Amino acid sequence: MKLMTNALMVAGSAALLLSTAISAQAAFVENEYICEDIYMEKAYDCANNAIIVEKNRLNKIYNRAYRRLNKVERQQLDTEQLTWLKKRDDKCHFEHDGPMNNTIVYAQIGANVCTATETQKRSKTIAKRYNIQ
């Protein structure tokens, strides 16, 4: 009976460790933003909200990582972040002067989705590098 109890405890501990490892890997939930396929006003809100969600997530992860670093590492992360921001903005940039039409609005929505998606990727990179859940 004692052997059976010990075996069950070992199996239970192994299952707990496995579930903890799986949940740690699944801690970063990726959002898929499909905003362009819905009615324009809702699509515009969807894309704007996506940016807010992802920028908030990045700020939280960045600040948690930042607190763990020494002065030199902080400077390196800041420099890396500025470089990343420029690349993201270059990739997702949208600017328009003139009359608006549906094509222009959907181009803006696409640019916003791009910004949110790239920001999410950056959050995942920092979270993984600094083991942030």
Q: Per-residue pLDDT tens for 85-97?
A: 999 999 999 887 8
Global pTM value: 0.76
What are the residue ranges of helices labelled H in the chain? 2-25, 40-68, 71-92, 102-129
Task: Give the residue ranges of the chain where pLDDT is below 50.
Answer: 1-26
Helix, strand, or coil (residue 27): coil
**Residue 88, pLDDT score:** 97
Length of the chain: 133
CA distances (Å), 97 to each of 23, 94, 104, in order?
47, 10, 10
**Residue 27, pLDDT score:** 67
Q: Break the chain into its structural domains and give their ranges.
A: 1-30, 32-129
**Residue 114, pLDDT score:** 96
CA distances (Å), 6 to each of 13, 17, 29, in order?
10, 16, 36
**Residue 2, pLDDT score:** 46
Architecture of domain 32-129: Up-down Bundle (1.20)
Q: How many CA atoms lie within 13 A of 113 on its CB side?
A: 17
